[in-house]
Amino acid sequence: MRRGTSFVQRERLTVALYDSHRLPDFPYTRASSSFSAVVQLYAQSSQLDTAEVRHRRFRDTPPWCHFGCDAFESVHHIFARCPAFFAIRRAHSMQLCDETSSLLEGGVADRVRKALEGAAQRVFFDDAGLWPQYQTRFYVGVLPTLARIVGNISETEVGVLPPQSHDMGNIASS
């Protein structure tokens, strides 16, 4: 193996395709979801300890999923595809849908509300209609842009939502 190639990032994420809302100044230290922020950091830098990473770097383990799947245990597989975690993804999807519905109740036009509620149902799953690169990327801390979800939004359709809620990242993190 060539020296230095085992720690090279395997996938490139085209961040410009996703929501560009401003992140808080303290995402890894004082955030209520600091564990999630650390997982995102490790996933973005190819440092999350999956079978695929260990196999590629150290050759000390087979690259197959530890949970019995016939798939490579990649970060994407664990967070988006592995059947062992389907119930967890589904539960969090339902919670996100409920919170999105309550945030948007009476605050936006029906078209916008339905589009955002539909997107909330699909955040944790691969969906070519929602995700710019056809696969979910929530686990690295990015979300689709509002323009991709609802198209052109007018000020009257946005309604009474506070200005910081006008992007998907702030709706999802509320």
Write down the pLDDT at residue 11. Answer: 63
Q: Are 68 and 74 in contact (CB under 8 A)?
A: no
CB 142 within 8 A of CB 18: yes
Separation of CA 121 from chain center:
12
Average pLDDT of the residues of the chain: 79
pLDDT over 80 (residue 132):
yes
CA 91 to chain centre: 15
- pTM of the predicted model as reported, rounded to 2 decimal places: 0.71
d(CA 124, CA 137): 8
Better pLDDT: 3 or 95: 95
- Tell whether the model's pLDDT for residue 158 goes beyond 60: no
CA 5 to chain centre: 27
CA distance readout (Å), 58 to 13, 15, 22, 54, 140: 24, 29, 37, 5, 24
pLDDT value for 20:
76
Dump pLDDT digits (tens) for 82-125.
999 999 999 999 999 999 999 888 777 888 888 999 999 999 99
HSE value, Cβ hemisphere, 13 Å, CA-based, for 100: 26
Quote the pLDDT of residue 167: 47
Summarize pLDDT for 13-36 with one digit per residue, the tens: 676 777 777 665 655 555 566 778
